[in-house]
Chains A and B, each alone.
Chain A
Amino acid sequence: MNQNFHPFVIPFMLGVIFLVIVMIVRLVRWFRMMDKRQRVAVSRNIISFKTLKAIWETIRESLFHRNIFKTNFVLGYMHFCFAFGWLMLIVMGKVEEIFASGKIFTEPWLGIFFKYFEPIGEHYPLQGFFAFVMDLLLLFVLSGLILAFIKRSRSTILGLRKTTNHSPIDRTALTALWLIFPLRLFSESITASYKGNGGFLTQTIGNWLSVLPVETIELPAWWAYSIALCVFFALMPFTRYMHIFTEVLLIFLRKWKVVESAEKTGYTFIELYSCSRCGICIDTCQINSAANINNTQAVYFIRDVREEQLQDEIADNCLMCNRCTNACPVGIEQTQIRRIYRRKKGFDSEKLYDYIKPEAPKDAQAKVLYFAGCMSHLTPGIITAMKQILDNAKIDYHFLDEDKSICCGRPLKQQGFLEQANALMRKNSELINNAGGTVLVTSCPICYNSFAKDYNLSIPVMHHSQYIEQLLNEGKLKVSKKKELRIAYHDPCEISRGHNIYESPRNIITKVGELIPAGNEKDDSLCCGGSLANTIINPEQLTAIRNQTLDTLCINHPDILATSCPLCKKSFQRGGNTIKVMDIAELIALD
């Protein structure tokens, strides 16, 4: 028999072959499911500088896990140990084997089981060095394993309040993965105990183990190691560990400018299968931390989609605040995927606004179009302030939705009524484009996001925080004197994470009073509890979310809580006046 073969390598090889076949089948399927736009993006960008960037990012993220390191150092180290450590074990194993055999193409399992097949008494270059490095790498992986074990049993030690609750198949794969490295250590140590080919770790342990009947234990140990590998590889495509490959693919596709489409595509599946179920999204989610619901977060939603057991109640129970997308180390666009899976039939919105006819307004020459939005109509203080500001700055404006208006469509879109939302958007575009004007200013971040991202308008769109800032900078609007006011600012999700508008409202506040720090600022901002995107959660749970947010916003006891969203203002006001809530427009109009 070939001295480089032993039947115990068969399970390992079967596992690897199975994995490769499944991966190829999936890849082909996903690429065929991509829509035309996505395929064009791939073919256009595949041979370009972008590919090099993708390689660099793969190294940075998939090997070194820079993003997780930033979120949580210990967690980053843990992932780094597994990904980088294991890859290096495989690579260095291969190199070691090449050095030993002097051949480049050898049996594929040799590097994995090298210690067993290493001939006794033969010497090759750098033998001692390899023995040392391989042991060091194994030790490195094992240190990550210990952390993983602690994370499973006591997640708080690693700074995670909640860790993912995994399904049985994930737990089986996890057990196999955890067994691989101790089994490797054990097998190599046993072999080293009589071959003397171990490094500082395996040789030491091997010497202790030599009291045992090593010849009888040796083969079963290697069998066990091979079977653990087999189980892990065979389960991999069906578990969270699929992310190890898919994530790399995702990085490349993203660099090639492939984006989610409104429909389910192959790219959606690549995103879904890139989720490692690390559970970082659970802690960021207020539905967990304030409302105590623990089965609806991105990780569970994605798992349910993958296992084809998604229920509407899970898909719909999300604030769509994008906090988790922001925190996701892989950057999965869960909000967009959720929108795809929320697709609902329902009613016909085509005729809803037939009573509003697109016609040129009387003051068609107005340069500025002001669109308050439905939520501002429910918070008339903001409209009153905006009118006052526009009048004070002597702006020639036309109030587009003063009397009648068509919904911007975003609430419907968020809730999964895409066709209905599209019908409204078509009508509204017609209305806006007919009105003339050179710029569209809106007081509502929801409308703003919709106009800026989903509409194809002929004029630029500004949120009123940007517009007021511009008026102040141009000197058209003057603030007489700073007041003795301590003001905290709440970033509304739709313009903060949605559009990175962080400084404009803050610049306005500093002109009126003193801007004081609050908890969870900027892209880490929390939800006001007014989310229009969640149709499942009840008012009491929304209240819990709002109170949690108010508490962190008011840690420094501001006189006024400012925001720039009518919905946020309304939500904060509802519960009673523990703190005065004002829109930034009202702050300026105070003057």
Chain B
Amino acid sequence: MNIVDCIIIGGGPAGMEAANRLTDQGFQVLLFEKEPELGGKLRQWDKLFPDFTLAQDILKMLNDNIASNKLEIKTGNTIRELRQSTDEGNSKEWEVIDGNGESHRARTVLITTGFDFFDATRKEEYGYGIYPNVITSVELEEQLKNGKIEIASNSKNDPNIAFIQCVGSRDEKVGNHYCSRNCCICAVKQAIEVKELLPQSEVTCYYMDLRMFGQSYEELYRKAQQEFRVNFIRGRVSEISPTLENRVILKAEDTLLSRPIRATVDLVVLMVGMEPSETTAQLSKSLNMSDPYGYIASKNSYTADNETQHKGLFVAGTAKRQLAIPDVIRDADAAAFTIAKHLKNGK
């Protein structure tokens, strides 16, 4: 049986980038993707923060590299099992059982199974799935891609649009204590885009803290306030209820003014957080390398962040924690470097 150098599970940006970097160096790579197409969640996005780069441009670069490289890709294939090879004397090898029940062997495996969006129905108080004018940031991005924002209410006035931060992040009630890191800046980006499409609309963003840590994030946040007149209110929304005109009323507390507030709005955008994808959670559990939330814990987040506690098994991207596209691509590069070193030393 053919034993490849590296099997990569997950064909999102991390998996694609690592596959390219490894084949560049002459390693034989097999890439699995459960969807019919490569690209992962990047395919659902229109523009990227903080500089409005088109997601499809990044995707095209990754795809072009894939096309020019010689590597085997299996799309539409959800793997069933990942395990250390049971053959005696070959315990260093890894075995992947794919969706068709076929076995594939590799000297190393890279997990790039990524994240999933938080299921907003778990926060029923926001009325997602109950009121038509409550949508998620993912659905808004889809609308932005089409260049048209759908407002379900019958109101004839200029629309009021509210963004709600931290839906499924920093929320101990749903069991996610962590910050998803991308939603703050993503809401700023989307708010600006909404204002560009609907200049007459009133856009308000309800937040707990705004975490503008990345390069150019703070500048974009300032621009949203000064140039686009986006309102930012510190306060978590407690509940949303319907009105007769198909609008919704949201109740919150302005925690800077210590005052309860109510706002009638036409569209609510829930900034859904990140959670480990099903496959990520499955693999982290079955191989006993899960962090408290089901992400894959790396061996050492300072010095061995692409390694796991299992020899020959590597991890990159949002299967580990919440990262943005640039971080993911850099992390995939680092993973490819680490894997190459492992493969060379192993010979």
Contacts and interface: CB of A to CB of B under 8 A. Distances in A.
Nearest to B124: A379
Interface string A369-397: 00000000111110110000000000000
A574 B127 contact: no
Nearest to A384: B130
A531 to B, nearest CB: 13
Contacts of A573: 121-122, 124
B125 interface: yes
Nearest to B128: A380
Contacts of A574: 122, 173-175
Contacts of B174: 574-575
A569 B239 CA distance: 16
A402 interface: yes
Interface string B215-241: 000000000000000000000001111
A380 B122 contact: no
Contacts of A378: 124-125, 238-239
Contacts of B127: 380
A570 B124 contact: yes
Nearest to B292: A540
A539 B124 contact: no
A529 to B, nearest CB: 11
A402 B249 CA distance: 11
Contacts of A570: 124
Given A379-B124, A380-B130, A576 B241 contact: no
A444 B115 CA distance: 36
A577 interface: yes
A187 interface: no
Interface in A559-585: 569-570, 573-577
A136 B239 CA distance: 70
Interface in A402-444: 402
A402 B242 CA distance: 10
A383 B175 contact: no
A113 to B, nearest CB: 65
Contacts of A193: none
A373 to B, nearest CB: 12
Nearest to B275: A576
A274 interface: no
B57 interface: no
Contact of B241 (A383, A569, A575): A383
B119 interface: yes
A286 interface: no
Contacts of B87: none
Contact of B173 (A379, A383, A539): A539
Interface in B239-258: 239-242
A576 B293 CA distance: 12
Nearest to A383: B241
B260 to A, nearest CB: 9
Contacts of B88: none
B102 interface: no
A577 B174 CA distance: 11
B130 A377 contact: no
B241 A380 contact: yes
Contacts of A384: 130, 242
A383 B172 CA distance: 25
A570 B173 CA distance: 10
B321 to A, nearest CB: 19
A379 B238 CA distance: 11
Contacts of A402: 241
A377 B241 CA distance: 7
B122 A577 contact: yes
Contacts of A539: 172-173, 175
A543 interface: yes
A543 B121 CA distance: 18
Given A383-B241, A539-B173, A576 B125 contact: no
A120 to B, nearest CB: 78
A381 B130 CA distance: 6
Contact of B122 (A377, A543, A576): A576
A245 B124 CA distance: 53
Interface in A330-388: 377-381, 383-384
A563 to B, nearest CB: 13
B88 to A, nearest CB: 39
B177 to A, nearest CB: 9
A446 B127 CA distance: 22
A402 B241 CA distance: 9
Contacts of A380: 124-125, 127, 130-131, 239-242
Contacts of B241: 377, 380, 383, 402
A377 B172 contact: no
B28 to A, nearest CB: 38
Nearest to A374: B239
A383 B248 CA distance: 14
A381 B242 CA distance: 11
Interface string B90-126: 0000000000000000000000000000010110110
A376 B239 CA distance: 10
Interface string B166-189: 000000111100000000000000
A213 B242 CA distance: 94
Contacts of B173: 539, 574
A543 B292 CA distance: 13
Contacts of A543: 175
A569 B127 CA distance: 14
A402 B173 CA distance: 25
Nearest to A381: B130
A383 B124 CA distance: 12
Given A378-B239, A383-B241, A384-B130, A575 B175 contact: yes
Contacts of A383: 241
B294 to A, nearest CB: 10
Nearest to A573: B122
Given A377-B125, A539-B172, A543-B175, 6 more contacts: A378-B238, A380-B130, A380-B131, A380-B241, A539-B173, A574-B174
19 contacts: A377-B239, A377-B241, A378-B124, A378-B125, A378-B239, A380-B124, A380-B125, A380-B239, A381-B124, A381-B130, A543-B175, A569-B124, A573-B122, A574-B122, A574-B174, A574-B175, A576-B119, A576-B122, A577-B121
Interface of B: 119, 121-122, 124-125, 127, 130-131, 172-175, 238-242
Q: A-B pairs with the 3 shortest C-beta distances?
A: A378-B125, A539-B172, A379-B124
